[in-house]
Amino acid sequence: QQQVKQSPQSLIVQKGGISIINCAYENTAFDYFPWYQQFPGKGPALLIAIRPDVSEKKEGRFTISFNKSAKQFSLHIMDSQPGDSATYFCAASTGTYKYIFGTGTRLKVLA
């Protein structure tokens, strides 16, 4: 019940395309859903996050869509660029701030 399932494991997108990464969870106590971007040899950096009271949040080219009834949320990267090539992790947490991370998606954007 504490798992966060992330898919796909890897993703190849053409420059300018849309990258979509999906996550699903079971624990309805989760109330914070962030997405992190990680480059090789670096720590994760927060991209965007959402709480269950909204269904969508957009920041620049990054959008989170949240479906509370389905217990799913996704990251959309619009106009994907080669510089977006990285590993992306979704996560979920409760008020204890113990984050449960997804398994990661390695995104490669072709020039």
Partner 1 sequence: GAVVSQHPSRVICKSGTSVKIECRSLDFQATTMFWYRQFPKKSLMLMATSNEGSKATYEQGVEKDKFLINHASLTLSTLTVTSAHPEDSSFYICSAIKREDTGELFFGEGSRLTVL
Backbone angles phi, psi at 82, to 5 degrees: -55, -35
Strand 105-110, strand 10-14: pairing: parallel
The distance of Cα 35 from the centroid of its chain, to the nearest Å, equals 4
CB of 16 to partner 1, least distance (A): 27
CB of 27 to partner 1, least distance (A): 15
14 or 28, CB closer to partner 1?
Answer: 28
74 or 93, CB closer to partner 1?
Answer: 93
CB of 50 to partner 1, least distance (A): 11
List, as one string, the DSSP characters of 80-102: --GGG-EEEEEEEB-TT---EE-
Question: What are the residues binding partner 1 (CB under 8 A)?
Answer: 31-32, 34, 36, 41-46, 49, 87, 89, 93, 95, 97-99, 101-104, 106
84: closest CA among 111, 50, 57?
111
83 or 95, CB closer to partner 1?
Answer: 95
